[in-house]
């Protein structure tokens, strides 16, 4: 076997993005655009030139297209979005592959996503290593695949699978991809196995576009369409996803591909796509923390957790699922009795969870690398537990608090090593929710902070670093939003007026439905703590207190802001009576509020407090706040987060609305959006 490398020099100085080799009649075209071979204009051009050179070489029977750096092609170069399309486009690359007179084999290692998998679909065959994954996750950015992926996919697998795969944006690992027909073979070594596959494949072209649609059940497909539309909450791109796959199985290939391309071009420049791209880049930016570039994380293998309630069990499941051994205890040992079964239920979908050990006391956590408290939100209880951590924890251990409101610096005073104390604020259910607020205390060491971000990455959480302040980033903003919504009740709105208007914006639930779900006693305990600390309850609507006093604690007692029958929320006359009494006490005459007014005031209450959080230095960046609200509090991602949304509003109108919701309190500075 002989190998010859062809020089890239003819491609020009800006296109040294591919390596071309010839191995006994097989052309190897290897992409070299680190770190993930993103489909930039220069890479697209280099692929076309490489295919052309190999196609015209008489020594070559077939071509293998593969990626360097452990990745095939992870998708488009998002930096090109928001700008005019430049040639060559991705469809030009697709055409070059299909028009090539020789078979092209996609050899996938790592990710083949979005445009990367569309290129693989244009090839005559697809092979992949065991660690590879394929997918068409363009919906992540509010668009549809625009280079024929929607038309080709149902020719490899059934229409239901194609629709589910596109709508869910999920990445399909090799074993499943093989069973679904998304790839043709799983291989071990590249390029050796790819060369062997190319020899066996022969010289005949086998375009996916020429295949018949894979068989599918029309009724099942109809059910899948309804499911996707319901899950998509009416977002425009979801309708385009459904239409693209429907056309693929009911129209000609060219008609289906052209229709999807038109949808892609329209959605590419939409406000929703811009918002979703903003969140994508915001997540990248959040991981860049000043002063940590040269700091190595501490080694962590075992997590010790105190608190076997719902939150503690959820946190335990999250760590176990990520491969960390967990020792779990509770201040009340009887609480451990049901913990193991609860955690096992949480871990039903985990592939290979680590070992869980239930232990009787805090002293049994002495050898843990991280000791985390997840007990009741009471400062005295948490300080006492942190002092116990200080006594038993080994040198170098991290002492973490899951507090969602309390002063982390005050909690840290209970220890002799405040530099080891950090806040790890999980969101319920902790094994599912993506957000993790990492709270940096005044004394938290850079290494402890760096280790916390490393833990978050392994947990696959969206991590945002917060400073110390009441409620940190998320809960402080949410409380301002909830207070504004309660104020609207006093003015004349009903709980369902507010919830319906908020849900119409794209929130999964309105504030009063959320309160009923989480428990009104929890909200009241926090409000009373603040009232006791400040002596001020003049701005608090008293209805929450009255509901709790009446044992109307939400869904768990069958009534709260609503009453519940067979799980369905219903308006409750008792709540209306409470609201009428509160209006009389406040001297307010009730009037109706239209949905648009409710939405504007709710959004501006969030924005106003978000600007104050930024001004106070609790959050480092506006984009960090957008991440917190979209990943932890149900703020609609298609709006890009509260401060991204605010930046799109006319400044004069925004300033006026912020003044309205601020009332006599602090008003945020819109200048921080510049």
Per residue in 288-304, pLDDT (tens digit) is 998 898 999 999 999 99
In the predicted model, is pLDDT for residue 454 greater than 60? yes
CA dist., res. 164 & res. 600, Å (int): 35
CA dist., res. 78 & res. 21, Å (int): 29
Q: What is the pLDDT of residue 4?
A: 44
How do residues 38-64 score in pLDDT, each as one tens digit?
999 999 999 999 999 999 999 899 999
User: Which CATH number goes with the domain that contains 240?
Assistant: 3.90.226.10
CA dist., res. 278 & res. 243, Å (int): 26
Of residues 477 and 24, more confidence is placed in: 477
- Of 261, 293, 324, which one is at a domain's C-terminal end? 261
CA dist., res. 608 & res. 499, Å (int): 20
Tokens 């917060």 found at: 466
Q: Do 542 and 664 fall into the same domain? A: yes
Q: What is the pLDDT of residue 540?
A: 77
User: Which CATH number goes with the domain that contains 576?
Assistant: 1.10.1040.50
Whether residue 295 is contained in a domain is answered as no
How do residues 600-622 score in pLDDT, each as one tens digit?
999 999 999 999 999 999 999 99
Q: Do 486 and 512 fall into the same domain? A: yes
Supply the DSSP symbol for 375: -
Instruction: Give how many domains the chain has, as a whole number.
Output: 3
The SS3 call for residue 609 is helix
- Please list the alpha-helical segments (H only) found in 217-286: 218-231, 236-250, 253-268, 271-286
DSSP E strand boundaries for 440-519: 462-466
Q: How confident is the model at residue 8 (pLDDT cuts 50, 70, 90)?
A: very low
Query: What are the residues whose beta carbons fall under 8 Å from the beta carbon of 32, sequence distance 6 or more?
Result: 16, 17, 18, 19, 68, 69
Q: Do 564 and 449 fall into the same domain? A: no
Clarify whether 138 is annotated catalytic. Answer: yes
CA neighbor of 632 nearest in space, from 349, 471, 434: 434
Q: Do 197 and 327 fall into the same domain? A: no
Q: Do 542 and 445 fall into the same domain? A: no
Give the helix, strand, coil percentages of the chain, each rounded to 5: 50, 15, 35
Of residues 508 and 106, more confidence is placed in: 106
Quickly count: other Cβ atoms within 10 Å of residue 222's Cβ. Answer: 12
Inter-axis angle of helices 474-491 and 573-586, to 10 degrees? 90
Q: What is the pLDDT of residue 237?
A: 94
Q: Which of 4, 80, 138, 565 is catalytic?
A: 138
Asked if residue 487 lies in contact with residue 493, where contact means CB atoms within 8 angstroms, the answer is no
The SS3 call for residue 99 is helix
Whether residue 290 is contained in a domain is answered as no
Q: Which of 80, 118, 176, 545 is catalytic?
A: 118
Whether residue 283 is contained in a domain is answered as no
Q: How confident is the model at residue 7 (pLDDT cuts 50, 70, 90)?
A: very low
Q: Do 56 and 123 fall into the same domain? A: yes
Residue 6 β-bridge partners? 20
Report the chain's mean pLDDT, rounded to a whole number.
93
Asked if residue 300 lies in contact with residue 451, where contact means CB atoms within 8 angstroms, the answer is yes
In the predicted model, is pLDDT for residue 534 greater than 90? no
Q: How confident is the model at residue 538 (pLDDT cuts 50, 70, 90)?
A: low
- Of 261, 281, 313, which one is at a domain's C-terminal end? 261
Q: Do 53 and 196 fall into the same domain? A: yes
Mean pLDDT throughout 308-334? 95
Whether residue 453 is contained in a domain is answered as yes
Q: Do 20 and 59 fall into the same domain? A: yes
Mean pLDDT throughout 403-409? 95
Question: What is the domain extent for residue 201?
Answer: 3-261
Q: What is the pLDDT of residue 9?
A: 35
In the predicted model, is pLDDT for residue 11 greater than 50? no
Asked if residue 513 lies in contact with residue 540, where contact means CB atoms within 8 angstroms, the answer is no
Clarify whether 130 is annotated catalytic. Answer: no
In the predicted model, is pLDDT for residue 312 greater than 70? yes
Whether residue 318 is contained in a domain is answered as yes
Asked if residue 126 lies in contact with residue 207, where contact means CB atoms within 8 angstroms, the answer is no
Q: How confident is the model at residue 3 (pLDDT cuts 50, 70, 90)?
A: very low
Q: What are phi and psi of 24, to 5 degrees?
A: 45, 55
Whether residue 281 is contained in a domain is answered as no
Q: Do 517 and 588 fall into the same domain? A: yes
CA dist., res. 50 & res. 636, Å (int): 43
The H or E element spanning position 63 is strand 62-67
Query: pTM of this prediction?
Result: 0.90
Q: Cis (ω within 30 of 0) for the bond into 666?
A: no
The H or E element spanning position 371 is strand 370-373
Supply the DSSP symbol for 341: H
In the predicted model, is pLDDT for residue 6 greater than 70? no
- Of 437, 466, 495, which one is at a domain's C-terminal end? 466
How do residues 115-148 score in pLDDT, each as one tens digit?
999 999 999 999 999 999 999 999 999 999 999 9
């Amino acid at each position: 076997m002989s190998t010859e490398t062809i020089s890239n020099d003819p491609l020009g100085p800006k296109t040294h993005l591919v390596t071309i080799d010839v191995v006994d009649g097989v052309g190897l075209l290897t992409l070299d655009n680190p770190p993930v071979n993103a489909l930039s204009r220069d890479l697209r051009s280099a692929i076309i030139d490489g295919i052309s050179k190999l196609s015209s070489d008489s020594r070559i029977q077939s071509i293998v297209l593969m990626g360097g750096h452990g990745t095939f092609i992870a998708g488009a170069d998002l930096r090109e979005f928001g700008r005019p399309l430049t040639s060559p486009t991705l469809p030009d690359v697709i055409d070059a592959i299909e028009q090539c007179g020789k078979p092209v084999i996609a050899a996938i290692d790592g990710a083949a996503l979005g445009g990367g998998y569309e290129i693989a679909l244009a090839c005559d065959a697809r092979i992949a290593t065991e660690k590879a994954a394929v997918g068409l996750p363009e919906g992540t950015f509010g668009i549809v695949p625009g280079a024929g992926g929607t038309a080709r996919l149902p020719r490899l697998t059934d229409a239901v699978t194609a629709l589910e795969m596109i709508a869910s944006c999920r990445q399909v690992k090799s074993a499943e991809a093989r069973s679904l027909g998304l790839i043709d073979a799983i291989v071990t070594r590249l390029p050796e196995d790819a060369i062997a596959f190319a020899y066996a494949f022969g010289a005949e072209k086998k375009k996916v576009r020429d295949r018949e649609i894979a068989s599918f059940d029309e009724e099942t497909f109809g059910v899948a369409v309804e499911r996707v539309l319901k899950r998509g909450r009416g977002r425009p791109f979801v309708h385009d996803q459904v239409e693209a796959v429907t056309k693929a199985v009911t129209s000609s290939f060219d008609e289906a591909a052209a229709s999807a391309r038109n949808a892609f071009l329209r959605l590419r420049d939409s406000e929703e796509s811009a918002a979703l791209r903003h969140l994508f880049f915001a997540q990248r930016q959040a991981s860049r923390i000043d002063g940590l570039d040269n700091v190595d994380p501490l080694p962590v293998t075992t997590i010790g957790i105190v608190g076997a309630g719902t939150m503690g069990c959820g946190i335990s499941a999250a760590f176990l699922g990520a491969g960390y051994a967990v020792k779990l205890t509770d201040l009340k040992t009887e609480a451990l009795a049901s913990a193991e079964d609860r955690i096992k239920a949480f871990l039903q979908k985990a592939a290979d969870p680590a070992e869980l050990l239930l232990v009787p006391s805090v002293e049994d956590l002495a050898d843990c690398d991280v000791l985390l408290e997840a007990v009741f939100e009471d400062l005295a209880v948490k300080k006492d537990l942190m002092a116990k951590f200080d006594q038993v924890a080994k040198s170098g251990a991290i002492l973490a608090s899951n507090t969602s409101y309390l002063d982390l610096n005050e909690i840290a005073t209970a220890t002799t090593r405040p530099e080891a104390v950090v806040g790890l604020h999980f969101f319920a259910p902790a094994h599912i929710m993506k957000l993790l607020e990492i709270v940096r205390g005044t004394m938290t060491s850079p290494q402890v902070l760096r280790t916390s971000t490393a833990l978050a990455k392994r947990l696959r959480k969206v991590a945002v670093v917060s400073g110390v302040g009441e409620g940190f980033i998320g809960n402080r903003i949410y409380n301002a939003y909830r207070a504004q919504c309660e104020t609207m009740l006093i003015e004349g709105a009903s709980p369902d007026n507010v919830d319906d208007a908020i849900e119409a914006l794209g929130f999964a639930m309105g504030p009063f439905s959320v309160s009923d779900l989480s428990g009104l006693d929890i909200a009241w305990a926090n409000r009373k703590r603040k009232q006791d600390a400040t002596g001020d309850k003049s701005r608090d609507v008293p209805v929450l207190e009255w509901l709790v006093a009446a044992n109307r604690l939400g869904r768990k007692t069958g009534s709260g802001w609503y009453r519940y029958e067979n799980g369905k929320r219903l308006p409750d006359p008792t709540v209306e009576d409470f609201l009428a009494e509160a209006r009389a006490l406040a001297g307010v005459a009730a009037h109706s509020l239209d949905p648009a007014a409710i939405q504007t005031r709710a959004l501006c209450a969030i924005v106003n407090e978000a600007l104050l959080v930024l001004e106070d230095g609790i959050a480092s960046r506006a984009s960090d706040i957008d991440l917190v609200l979209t990943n932890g509090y149900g703020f609609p991602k298609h709006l890009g987060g509260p401060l991204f949304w605010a930046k799109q509003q006319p400044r004069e109108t925004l300033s006026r609305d912020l003044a309205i919701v601020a009332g006599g309190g602090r008003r945020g500075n819109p200048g921080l959006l510049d």
